[in-house]
Each structure stands twice: as C-alpha cells, then as structure tokens.
Amino acid sequence: MKRFLIALQFLTIIPVKNDMTVQEDDIAKSASLFVVVGFLQGLLLLATNYSAGRIFHSDLVVGLILLVLVLSNGGFHLDGLSDTFDALALKSQGDAAIDKQKRLAIMKTGTAGPIGVTAIVFSLALKYLALNNLSHFQPFTYISSLLLMPVLSKWAMVMSIFHGKPAREDGLGRIFINRIGLKEIAISTGILLLLLLLSSVVFSRFFSLYVPNKQYIFYIFLLLSLWLFCRVEINFFNKKFGGLTGDMLGATSEITEIIFLFMVIAWSRFSI
C-alpha cells in the first residue's frame, strides 16, 4: 500500500498522507504500480465522459476530458514535454559533450520557451483531434481508449525507467531511472495485461459493447510497438543528453498517449 501511495503522490495531485517513512528504494519500486494510478485516471476520464456527455456536445466533452487529464497530474507531464523540446531546440556548438550540458542546463531553468509551448499546444491538439475522431467510432473503441490511454502511458514510463540511465546525478528522475529490476517490470506488465483482459470482458458482458474479434491481436502489437518506441527514444535521449531525466519521462508519457490514440484509429480503420 505504501508504494501505491507513493506512486499516487508522484503522478497525481491527489493529496496523500505525508507521515510515511519513505526510503529512496520505496520510491523507485513504486514504479511497478504506476499502471494502477493510470487506471484510476482512466476511470476518472470515463466518469467525466459520462457526466459531461449528459449535458454538453461531444466536442466540448472531449475538451473537458483533456482538462481533467491535465489537472489530475498537475500538468507535470506537459511541463516535462515542454522542457525536453526546449532543450532539443538548442543549436549544436559542434561539441557533443558541451551540447549535452547546455541542454541539461536549459531543462533546469523552469521557463517555457517557444518550442516548448509549441510542443504543449500540438500535444493537446493532437489528442483532442484523435479523441474527437474516436468518439465517432464503435463505443467500445472510444471508451476503452479513454480508460487505457493513461494506463499505457504509465507503462511506457516504467519501461523507460528500466532500460534508461540517469543523465545527471541530481534531480527527481535519478531516483527512478535504472533502479528497478525485472520484478517491477513483471508486476507492471502483469497488471497491465490483466487490465486489458478485464476491460474487454467487463465492457462486453456488463455493458453489452461489441468487442472486435482482433482486439487481443491489437493489444500484442500495441505493446510491442510501445516497447520499441521506448527503446528508440532512450537511444535518442542518450545521444542528446547522455541519459534520461524526470522531464523526459513526462515527455514519454505525453508522446505515448498520442501514439496510442493514433494506433487505435489506424487499427480500427484498416484491420477489418
């Protein structure tokens, strides 16, 4: 329970009692339960969709869903996305080592530059357009996407934490990055697979929603694709920064959500 509360405190703005005795190892190992926090966020998005959908037009409902998603984590991931892209916008000085240090310095300034703001705008716009598109698909496709979007983004963060290395010795990211083992990966992935299975069963049996026959094939393809994305992204960040930071984990979450939504749309259109 303690590690779940740590994960909840780290990923959301939900107030958690702070009288716990917490070690850095507890913080790192809490990554195994990130997907559970993502599941709670997914349920919050479903509740928003249901309640707002009874009053507002679907276009406005999607906007409110994104607002709830951003507010639930305090804009933490968007801030990481902004800082990461601001740093990547640095013009190379011809020395890789100096470039890495300057990029890391930019990420610590705490101010958003034009590239970072642009990244936030495009991230929200692409998710809004994708969700708005999905709202016209079969109910299961849209509802399951709302539920699983934050779950899969948290799983991608865990994969990055496991495979990556810290870019610097200070900062919050180094507490997590490369400090979990196969046990945490197995727990995180096992919970994710269980959620994928249960969501399909619950939506089909209790809500009478049609689940596509190839849905589980899509899930396998999806997880492999997201894992590959994490490995490619880690290699890219290693070249640009010498490793990962907490900001890059936030960027990973944001980008993963976009990739997931686009993959759902593409699969739904062309898998028939």
pLDDT digits (tens, 9 = 90+) for 44-70: 999 999 999 999 998 999 999 999 999
d(CA 44, CA 268): 24
- Whether pLDDT at 272 is above 60: no
The number of domains in the chain is 1
Q: What is the mean pLDDT of residues 140-166?
A: 95
Cα torsion through 136, 145, 195, 26, rounded to 10: -160
Q: What tokens were used for 119?
A: 């990244």
The helix (run of H) or strand (run of E) holding residue 70 is helix 58-72
pLDDT, averaged across the chain: 90
> What is the reported pTM?
0.94
Question: Domain containing 175: what range?
Answer: 2-270
**pLDDT bucket at 241, cuts 50 / 70 / 90:** very high
Q: Report which of 31, 24, 26 is spatially closest to residue 7, judged by C-alpha positions.
A: 31
164-199 core/surface letters (b: 16 or more CB in 10 A; e: else): bebbbeebebbbbbbbbeeebbebbbebbeebbeeb
